A = this chain, B = another copy of it.
Amino acid sequence: MGGGECTRDQDRSTGGAPGGEPPQRPRDARETRARILGAAGAVFAERGYEAATVRDIAARAGVNQALIFRYFGSKKALVTEVMAQDGKEQLSTTPPERLFETALRGVLTEGGGAGADRLLAVYLRSIGSADAAPETVRALGEEYAAALASLSEADDSTLRAQLAMAWLLGIGLMRVVVGQEPLASAAPDAVCAHVLTALNRLLPVLPGGEAGAGDAGTEEARPGVRS
């Protein structure tokens, strides 16, 4: 039957100088909840929904595994909250006309691990998992597409917007998840320039649209906006 073998749930700082940081934090439900949410975002982004275990998340948050269920109910509810939070943050803080390039640069710079790019990593690594809140994922994607589509007047503007977002996802897939070279370590500006130039025909309203006004230069694309 089930073997109880909990060696350690939190490391309690047995590392460098003894007595460095207090391993016993004051009890605070709100902070614990926040710690779990933060750790969950990181672990889900690194490993994807299925491979990330609640024990991993608890260990990174420095809390007991049972607290995850106390505060969130289930693993699925946890990932749903992570994605919804990160998504709403980006959607509310970024104006539609900058949404695409901001998201693209988020994928390209990576590393930082802020809220927004983390969302995409979670999304990408969890997309194959049937349990990973597919409705949340779809709803979020539709909100992004709707924001982008609001910029265009073409009658198939939503389709165009979704195609642009599909490219974003695909680039993230190749770069972050698969790590395919040379794309994985290509200069963000170079990738951004290629993509915005090509998309100029699909969504002329995006920045970078004024690139080749007179001559449709395939080679000369300006290196995008430096963030």
Contact = CB atoms under 8 A, between A and B. Distances in A.
A191 interface: yes
Contact of A162 (B137, B158, B169, B180): B180
A9 B74 CA distance: 32
Contacts of A50: 50-51, 128-129
Q: How many copies of this chain?
A: 2
B130 A128 contact: no
Contacts of A218: 154, 201-202, 204
Interface string A147-185: 000000010101110110111111101100111111100
Nearest to A167: B167
Contact of A128 (B126, B170, B182, B183): B126
Interface stretch (A10-18, A53-61, A87-95, A192-200): A192-200
